[in-house]
Amino acid sequence: MTKVTAQMSVSLDGFYAGPRAPDDDMDGWLAWEAPGFFRVTRWVIDAMSWRERQGFAGGERSVSSEIIAETFAAAGAYVMGRRMFDGGEAPWGDDPPFRAPVFVVTSRPREVLEREGGTSFTFVLDGLERAIEQAKEAAGAKDVAVAGGGSLLRAALAAGLVDQLELHIVPVLLGDGLRLFDASLDLGPAEGIELVQDRVVETAGVTHVRYTVAGRAALELDARGNEAAAG
């Protein structure tokens, strides 16, 4: 059964990048978003399995590296936001690290891009849910991974389309920046999205916490222990 999975590296205070720059150019990005983004993804860059995918030498053979390898291996197809694709198209080059079909949610029509190593980019104009459907058809027995960015992941969670969520929690507080979770989840004060803890792996420099998404549920008021005192 194909699951829809999502995973993201975040600071302990829930940011996956620094604040959006006032000017949307490379210098602005490097000064604003990049320091936080680089900090929370440093553990990925250091891991051998990620470096191998990029054609880079070196890296640490670690539990975190195994988790990255497992994440790549589980994904039979990806769903991606337009902004993430735009930022990645050039640096990913001819042999992007996905090695599977990628479905990009966008409003701009474009021909399918075929890349080396099994990666293709298909541009889906009729929304996230349809992109996930197409990705499920392409994934075979494997999972569909929501590749990001943050707003696409949040939209998928809000729409109840994510089955498994993994956060890689990096031991730093950023204070401000791009938050993975915000009020766009559109939950009332007495409503939450319940998760079930699936796995926690503590490694040097990052803690991996994985959940099964149970879905929206009412938050109950309890008697705060007084039911026992009264007994």
* Contact residues: a second copy, CB under 8 A: 11-14, 18-19, 30-36, 38-39, 42, 45, 50-51, 54-59, 157, 167, 169, 171-177, 180-187, 189-197, 200, 202, 204-205, 207, 209, 211, 219-222, 224-226, 228-229, 231
Instruction: Let me know the angle formed at the C-alpha of 62 by 60 and 68, rounded to the nearest 5 degrees.
Output: 95
Quote the least distance from Cβ 45 to a second copy, whole Å: 5
Answer yes or no: are the C-beta atoms of 51 and 119 closer than 8 Å.
no
CB of 122 to a second copy, least distance (A): 26
* Least distance CB 187 / a second copy (angstroms): 4
| 120/195 with CB nearer a second copy | 195
Whether the Cβ atoms of residue 121 and residue 90 lie closer than 8 Å to each other: no
Map tokens 């792996």 to a residue. 201
CB of 66 to a second copy, least distance (A): 17
Cα–Cα distance measured from residue 194 to residue 212, given in angstroms and rounded to the nearest whole number: 9
Of the pair 125, 214, the CB lying nearest a second copy is at 214
Least Å from the CB of residue 118 to a second copy: 21
Residue whose entry in the numeric block shows the structure tokens 């009020």 = 183
- SS3 state of residue 86: helix
Residue 120 or residue 203: which is nearer to a second copy going by CB? 203
CA dist 141 and 118 (Å) reads 16
For a second copy, which is the closer residue by CB, 109 or 225? 225
Q: Chain centroid to CA 111: how far? A: 25
Nearer CB in complex with a second copy: 50/123: 50
HSE-CB of 80 using CA atoms within 13 angstroms = 23
Using the structure block, give the residue that is written with the tokens 């320091």: 35
